C-alpha cells in the first residue's frame, strides 16, 4: 500500500471552448503556471480568476520610499502584489510583515511568495485584523512604512462561494473571514428596517434605500428566505421596477453593487476596523515613517482624510497628502477595478 501511486484526478470538463464556471477555470486558478493565458486575459482589460491586479503600484512605491534594511507592514496582503514589489526593494537586511483576515487566500499567497524566494526571514505573514496593529508592533518594533489597500481582492469577489458578487449564484455570505462572525443572510434576518436603511445610506450612499430595505424586510416577514446572492439581486431588481425604463437596467446594477458593498462593510465592521487602525497608526510608525492608504469609496476616503488631517494639525504627522492621488487613465483603462481608487499618504513627525 505504501508505494501506491496517488489517483489521478481529472479536471472538470466544460462545454464549448471556454470555461464559464469559476471551478472550471483551471488555468487561471493557477495563474503562475499559465503566464501566456494570464497575459491574454489582462490585455483584454480583465482580471484572471484567482488573481488580483495591484493598483497604483508605482505611486505607492514613490510614497513609501522603501529602502534596504527597513521594517515595514503590508496591512492588507491579498494576492501579495504590492508586497512582492516592496520585498524587491527591502533587501539586503529588510523585513516585511504582512497581515490579512482571509484564512483561505492568506496561505495561498504565503506559498506563492515563498516559491518566489521570500521565506520567513524576510517576510512574516500573520492572520490578523489591521485594527490590532498595536499588537503586531509589540513584536516588530516601530515601522518605517505601512501600506493598506482597503476592501476586497479580486480572488474574493470572483469566488462565488464567498458571496461577494450579485452576478453569480452563491451563498449570501460576504465575510472576509468566513470562519468568524455571521454571514449577510443572517444579518438581514435580524436587522430592523430602519437600521438597514441607515446601513445602505451610511455605507454606500444608496439613493433607493427605502424601497430596497422595505422589499427585503417584507420578503422576510412573509416567511420567505434570502440565502443566496441572486435571491437578493432579484428582490432589489423587483423593488426598483418603478425606475424610468431608459436607464433602469444600469441603475439597478449600480444599486445592486451599492447594496452588496453596504452589507459587506456591515458584516465585516470595516469602518470600525479602519477607525481603530487610523487611530493606532502614528504610534506604530518611527519618526519619519510613511503610510499609504488606498481606498475605494467615499466612506473610507473620508475617514482616512479626516484622521490624517487631524493628526497633521496636532503635529503628529509632519506632512499629509493635500489631495488624493488617482490612478492614471491608462491604469483605469487596463484595470477597470482601479477606477474608484483614491490614494492618500502621511509622514510621521
Give the one residue of 66, 71, 101, 252 binding ligand SAM; rule: CB under 6 A: 101
Which residue number is nearest to ligand SAM in terms of Cβ? 78
Give the one residue of 25, 52, 258, 305 binding ligand SAM; rule: CB under 6 A: 52
Instruction: Identify the DSSP state of 10.
Output: P
Give the one residue of 47, 63, 66, 79 binding ligand SAM; rule: CB under 6 A: 79
Q: Grid coordinates in use for 175?
A: 465575510
Binding part of the chain for ligand SAM, among 125-133, 188-196, 224-232, 242-250 by CB under 6 A, reads 125-133
In sequence order, the β-bridge partners of residue 72 are 96, 145
In this complex, which beta carbon is closest to ligand SAM, that of residue 83 or of residue 237? 83
In this complex, which beta carbon is closest to ligand SAM, that of residue 70 or of residue 74? 74
Q: Does 208 bind ligand SAM (CB under 6 A)?
A: no
Q: Does 174 bind ligand SAM (CB under 6 A)?
A: no
Report the sign of the C-alpha dihedral through residues 268, 80, 54, 67, in that order. positive
Q: Does 81 bind ligand SAM (CB under 6 A)?
A: yes
In angstroms, the CA 319 to CA 345 distance is 8
**Ramachandran angles phi, psi of 95, nearest 5°:** -145, 135
In this complex, which beta carbon is closest to ligand SAM, that of residue 205 or of residue 269? 269
Give the one residue of 153, 159, 165, 228 binding ligand SAM; rule: CB under 6 A: 153
User: Residue 64: which residues within 8 A CB-CB, separation 6 or more?
Assistant: 72, 86, 145, 147, 290, 292
In this complex, which beta carbon is closest to ligand SAM, that of residue 129 or of residue 159? 129
Q: Is the backbone of residue 286 left (phi > 0), alpha (psi -120 to 50) or beta?
A: beta
Q: Supply the DSSP string of 267-293, one letter for each residue.
A: HTTHHHHHHHHHHHHHHHEEEEEEEEE
Least distance to ligand SAM from the beta carbon of 151, Å?
5
User: Residue 218: which residues within 8 A CB-CB, separation 6 or more?
Assistant: none
Q: Grid coordinates in use for 149?
A: 489597500
In angstroms, the CA 267 to CA 270 distance is 8
Q: Does 82 bind ligand SAM (CB under 6 A)?
A: yes
Q: Does 152 bind ligand SAM (CB under 6 A)?
A: yes
In this complex, which beta carbon is closest to ligand SAM, that of residue 217 or of residue 264? 264
In this complex, which beta carbon is closest to ligand SAM, that of residue 215 or of residue 274? 274
Binding part of the chain for ligand SAM, among 72-80, 166-174, 218-226, 338-346 by CB under 6 A, reads 72-80
Give the one residue of 38, 64, 87, 99 binding ligand SAM; rule: CB under 6 A: 99
Counting every residue, how long is the chain? 349
In angstroms, the CA 149 to CA 171 distance is 26
Q: Does 48 bind ligand SAM (CB under 6 A)?
A: no
Q: Does 176 bind ligand SAM (CB under 6 A)?
A: yes
Binding part of the chain for ligand SAM, among 11-19, 117-125, 144-152, 195-203 by CB under 6 A, reads 144-152
Least distance to ligand SAM from the beta carbon of 228, Å?
22
Element (H, E) at 100: strand 95-100
Helix (H/G/I), strand (E/B), else coil: 125: strand
**What's CA 275's distance to the chain center, in Å?**
16
Residues that bind ligand SAM (CB under 6 A): 52, 54, 76, 78-82, 99-102, 105, 129-131, 149, 151-153, 176, 273
Amino acid at each position: 500500500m505504501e508505494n501506491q501511486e496517488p489517483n489521478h484526478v481529472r479536471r472538470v470538463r466544460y462545454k464549448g471552448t471556454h470555461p464559464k464556471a469559476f471551478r472550471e477555470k483551471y488555468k487561471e486558478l493557477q495563474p503562475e503556471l499559465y503566464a501566456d493565458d494570464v497575459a491574454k486575459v489582462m490585455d483584454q482589460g480583465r482580471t484572471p480568476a484567482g488573481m488580483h491586479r495591484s493598483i497604483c503600484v508605482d505611486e505607492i512605491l514613490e510614497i513609501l520610499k522603501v529602502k534596504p534594511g527597513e521594517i515595514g507592514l503590508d496591512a492588507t496582503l491579498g494576492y501579495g502584489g504590492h508586497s512582492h514589489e516592496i520585498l524587491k526593494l527591502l533587501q539586503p537586511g529588510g523585513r516585511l510583515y504582512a497581515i490579512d483576515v482571509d484564512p483561505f487566500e492568506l496561505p495561498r499567497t504565503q506559498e506563492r511568495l515563498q516559491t518566489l524566494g521570500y521565506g520567513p526571514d524576510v517576510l512574516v505573514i500573520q492572520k490578523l485584523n489591521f485594527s490590532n496593529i498595536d499588537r503586531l508592533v509589540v513584536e516588530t518594533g516601530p515601522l518605517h512604512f505601512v501600506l493598506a489597500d482597503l476592501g476586497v481582492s479580486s480572488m474574493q469577489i470572483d469566488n462565488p462561494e464567498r458571496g461577494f458578487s450579485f452576478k453569480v449564484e452563491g451563498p449570501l455570505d460576504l465575510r472576509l473571514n468566513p470562519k468568524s462572525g455571521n454571514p449577510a443572510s443572517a444579518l438581514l434576518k435580524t436587522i430592523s428596517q430602519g437600521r438597514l436603511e441607515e446601513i445602505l445610506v451610511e455605507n454606500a450612499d444608496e439613493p433607493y434605500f427605502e424601497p430596497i430595505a422595505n422589499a427585503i424586510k417584507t420578503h422576510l416577514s412573509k416567511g420567505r428566505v434570502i440565502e443566496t446572492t441572486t435571491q437578493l439581486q432579484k428582490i432589489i431588481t423587483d423593488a426598483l421596477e418603478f425606475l424610468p425604463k431608459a436607464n433602469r437596467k444600469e441603475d439597478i446594477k449600480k444599486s445592486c453593487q451599492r447594496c452588496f458593498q453596504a452589507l459587506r462593510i456591515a458584516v465585516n465592521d470595516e469602518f470600525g476596523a479602519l477607525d481603530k487602525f487610523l487611530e493606532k497608526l502614528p504610534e506604530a510608525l518611527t519618526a519619519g515613517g510613511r503610510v499609504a492608504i488606498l481606498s475605494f469609496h467615499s466612506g473610507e476616503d473620508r475617514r482616512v482624510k479626516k484622521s490624517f488631517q487631524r493628526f497633521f494639525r496636532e503635529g503628529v504627522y509632519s506632512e499629509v497628502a493635500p489631495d488624493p492621488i488617482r490612478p492614471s487613465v491608462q491604469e483605469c483603462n487596463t484595470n477597470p477595478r482601479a477606477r474608484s481608487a483614491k490614494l492618500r499618504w502621511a509622514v510621521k513627525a
